[in-house]
């Protein structure tokens, strides 16, 4: 029997429930890459993660009082930063009950529970009315989702005309040899990866959803290599600090595959829902 979409999402949600807090510890609080102005600078993973969040907030260009949807919100740190920096209300959705619990606790601790809320919801079936958000982002979450085209169509539906969608995602910068692709895809499961979209496909991918592409920014040199190497260093440090983790915490196979696959990069994609014409 083929699992239904809801059964698949429930299984993935349970995986996140079990692994999120360890990933958060390794990544320094957030669950996404960092950004280094100079790949050789000495910024920590935590500081670099904050820089990437700041860049995403800047690209979203949301003004005070707007309502923003965080699709695949993780444990909520970017949503908290967005609400605090831009003065917006944020609704975060994830398929992990544990992430909702952690995000809700963080919002309360930061005094933002009235403006930042988290809910269990499937990005393939967003439980919101059409035209109900002024902006949205998929902050390094789209690659984890099956049927990514449907996710974009869902984002289009819930955005108001003129609403901006910002995507931060791993991308395929250059074609992979069959052997490379096979090794990389063999490591997807443990990191909950569904697929990585070629950068060249994004214009059509965005257009097919009904959104209008504004810009694509390849920030691979500022993100991939320094993030990956700091993850490896962080894991080695955790094993040294906590000997009981030795043999338990190892760099995920996906990280090792990315290090040896420079064709995989990182980009920010900005799109918007077109304004309605007068009388339409």
The bridge status of strand 67-71 relative to strand 89-94 is parallel
List helix spans (H) across the chain: 5-27, 45-60, 77-86, 97-109, 148-158, 178-186, 202-208, 220-241, 253-259
Q: Which two tokens stand for residue 145?
A: 């989702």
Sequential DSSP letters for 210-276: T-EEEEEEE-HHHHHHHHHHHHHHHHHHHHHH-GGGTTT----HHHHHHHT-TTEEEEEEEEEPPPP
CB 116 within 8 A of CB 107: yes
User: Across-strand partners of 94?
Assistant: 120
Q: Is 54 a catalytic residue?
A: no
Query: Sheet of 264-272: strands edge to edge?
Result: 116-120, 89-94, 67-71, 133-139, 159-172, 264-272, 212-218
Report the C-alpha gap between 216 and 270 in whole angstroms: 6
Catalytic residue among 50, 99, 140, 172: 140
Report the C-alpha gap between 98 and 163 in whole angstroms: 29
List helix spans (H) across 61-96: 77-86
The bridge status of strand 67-71 relative to strand 133-139 is parallel
Report the C-alpha gap between 275 and 272 in whole angstroms: 9
Enzyme catalytic residues: 140
């Amino acid at each position: 029997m083929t699992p239904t979409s809801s059964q698949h999402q429930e299984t993935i949600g349970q995986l996140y429930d079990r692994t999120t807090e360890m990933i958060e510890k390794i990544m320094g609080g957030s669950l996404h890459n960092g950004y280094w102005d100079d790949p050789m600078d000495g910024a920590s993973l935590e500081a670099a993660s904050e820089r990437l969040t700041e860049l995403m907030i800047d690209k979203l260009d949301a003004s005070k009082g707007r309502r923003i949807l965080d699709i695949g919100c993780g444990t909520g740190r970017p949503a908290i930063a967005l609400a605090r920096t831009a003065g917006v209300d944020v609704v975060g959705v994830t398929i992990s009950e544990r992430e909702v619990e952690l995000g809700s606790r963080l919002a309360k601790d930061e005094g933002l529970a009235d403006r930042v809320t988290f809910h269990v919801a499937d990005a393939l079936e967003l439980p919101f009315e059409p035209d109900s958000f002024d902006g949205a982002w998929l902050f390094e979450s789209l690659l984890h989702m099956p049927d990514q085209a449907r996710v974009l169509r869902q984002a289009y539906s819930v955005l108001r005309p003129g609403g901006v969608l910002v995507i931060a995602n791993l991308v395929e910068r250059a074609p992979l040899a069959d052997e490379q692709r096979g090794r990389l895809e063999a490591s997807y499961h443990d990191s909950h990866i569904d697929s990585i979209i070629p950068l060249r496909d994004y214009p059509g991918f965005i257009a097919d959803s009904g959104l209008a592409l504004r810009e694509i920014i390849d920030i691979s040199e500022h993100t991939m290599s320094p993030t990956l190497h700091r993850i490896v260093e962080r894991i080695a440090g955790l094993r040294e600090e906590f000997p009981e983790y030795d043999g338990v915490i190892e760099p995920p196979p996906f990280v090792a595959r990315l290090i040896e696959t420079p064709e995989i990069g990182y980009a920010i994609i900005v799109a918007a829902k077109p304004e309605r014409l007068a009388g339409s």
